[in-house]
């Protein structure tokens, strides 16, 4: 599913970034520009980030 519609970033993209070492919203912003436009995706992106970090 798309997490950030503005930048066309899916949960799979976020999970791949976390596997590559991203651990913060700032890292996701740098890599995908998540939250850079309307900002509505930030809460969902953070949920995906936290769920994935728990697994690591
Ligand atoms: Fe991510 Fe708009 S949905 S910035």
Those residues of the chain that have pLDDT short of 50 are none
What's the CATH architecture for 2-55?
Answer: Orthogonal Bundle (1.10)
Q: Is 5 exposed, middle or buried (0-12, 13-18, 19+ CB in 10 A)?
A: exposed
ipTM over 0.90: yes
Length of the chain (residues): 56
Q: Which pLDDT does position 6 carry in this prediction?
A: 98
Domain spans of the chain?
Answer: 2-55
Separation of CA 20 and ligand 1 centre (Å)? 22
Q: Which pLDDT does position 56 carry in this prediction?
A: 76
Q: Which pLDDT does position 12 carry in this prediction?
A: 98
Separation of CA 17 and ligand 1 centre (Å)? 17
Q: Which pLDDT does position 8 carry in this prediction?
A: 98
Q: Which pLDDT does position 43 carry in this prediction?
A: 97
Q: Which pLDDT does position 23 carry in this prediction?
A: 97
Radius of gyration of the chain (CA): 10
d(CA 42, CA 56): 21
Q: Residue 19: how many CA atoms within 13 Å on its side-chain side? A: 6
Residue 36 near ligand 1, beta carbon < 6 Å? yes
Residue 5 near ligand 1, beta carbon < 6 Å? yes
């Amino acid at each position: 599913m798309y997490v950030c519609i503005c930048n066309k970033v899916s949960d799979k993209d976020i999970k791949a970034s976390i596997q590559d070492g991203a651990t913060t919203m700032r890292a996701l912003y740098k890599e995908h520009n998540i939250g850079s436009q309307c900002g509505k995706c930030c809460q969902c992106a953070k949920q995906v980030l936290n769920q994935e970090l728990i697994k690591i």
